[in-house]
Amino acid sequence: MKTALTIAGSDSSGGAGIQADLKTMTLNGVFAESAVTSLTAQNTTGVKSILDATPTFLQDEIDQVFTDIRPDAVKIGMVSSSALIHVIAGRLTFYKAQHIVLDPVMVATSGARLISEDAISTLEKELIPLAEIITPNIPEAEVLSGMEISSQEDMEKAAREIGTHFSCSVLLKGGHHLNDANDLLFQDGTYTWYKGKRIDNPNTHGTGCTLSSAIAANLAKGFSLPDSVKRAKEYISGALAAMLDLGKGSGPMNHAFDLSGEFVLDAEGKAAPEFRISKEHPVASSHTRKPSSAGEPSPAKDADKEGQA
């Protein structure tokens, strides 16, 4: 069985962070392991407090994983301090980790800041260069590229700038009212647009964690990067389309929408309606092209500017 490690923070409400990662990796067919960077006291309405792991303890976690059940892929999420980033970069380099997927988490869905300013600099210098792919949203890409992103063309320019500067692939996620359902993959000078269809679901807590974990799981199973992104998009579309509605704020998705079998049945032998294979969720399509001969990106056609899928 293939394996994947998530290095991220814990979400006490279960919709994001380590909890979302473990659910996603399991439902995407790999054995999931974890190294916790921080404990967060949070729910669907916001983050109340954060308690970081010590660098020594985080190193012990990573060492114990790699020296016993070595992961085939690694997803990195919330890391709030430079000291912890330094540990992660050092241990992943030491173990020659493969298929590193970095979700540069900076702000929670609720708006809470999750990383210090100095940690962003350390992330850029030590961790991003190790990644096979990073998955920033629009605000995170603005920080990493140093440019404002207000159009589809800006997304392509920013993805190219980030990918070229850090020598990694970039999945720039739409959203924030810009190409909401469409994500852009920049890989080896090629732009691939993954077009989604808006799913009218306000419960999007943990979408970034889920997407990056699904990509890591598929890379661990041997799928190419473009196919891993496509499959991850399809999975997250299904999780959103299941329309789970929990909590008083931006609630979690249903990671187990595709779960079936004896062990999800209740005492009456029935499965809850949330545990079903959705035949209705949209499947992400993709369109790949090379940059123009002048070396500048050109707009992808027929971009869907609806909500995030």
Q: Which of 122, 135, 204, 210 is catalytic?
A: 204
What is the rounded CA–CA span in Å between residue 116 and residue 100? 22
What is the rounded CA–CA span in Å between residue 261 and residue 265? 7
Question: Which DSSP state fits 19?
Answer: H
C-alpha distances (whole Å) from 188 to each of 70, 129, 300 are 28, 15, 17
Q: Quick check: 252 and 23 in contact, CB under 8 A? A: no
Backbone angles phi, psi at 83, to 5 degrees: -60, -40
204 is catalytic: yes
Give the chain's largest Cα–Cα span. 65
Q: Which of 209, 230, 233, 251 is catalytic?
A: 209
Q: Which of 15, 175, 206, 307 is catalytic?
A: 206
Q: Which of 3, 9, 109, 173 is catalytic?
A: 173
For residue 123, the SS3 value is helix
209 is catalytic: yes
233 is catalytic: no
Q: Which of 175, 208, 251, 307 is catalytic?
A: 208
Instruction: Give the list of residues 6+ apart from residue 111 with CB closer than 8 angstroms, or none.
Output: 46
What is the rounded CA–CA span in Å between residue 245 and residue 261? 23
Q: Quick check: 74 and 92 in contact, CB under 8 A? A: yes
174 is catalytic: no
173 is catalytic: yes
What is the rounded CA–CA span in Å between residue 22 and residue 6? 8
What is the rounded CA–CA span in Å between residue 248 and residue 167? 41
What is the rounded CA–CA span in Å between residue 50 and residue 55? 15
The pair of structure tokens assigned to 97 is 């980790």
Enzyme catalytic residues: 173, 204, 206-209
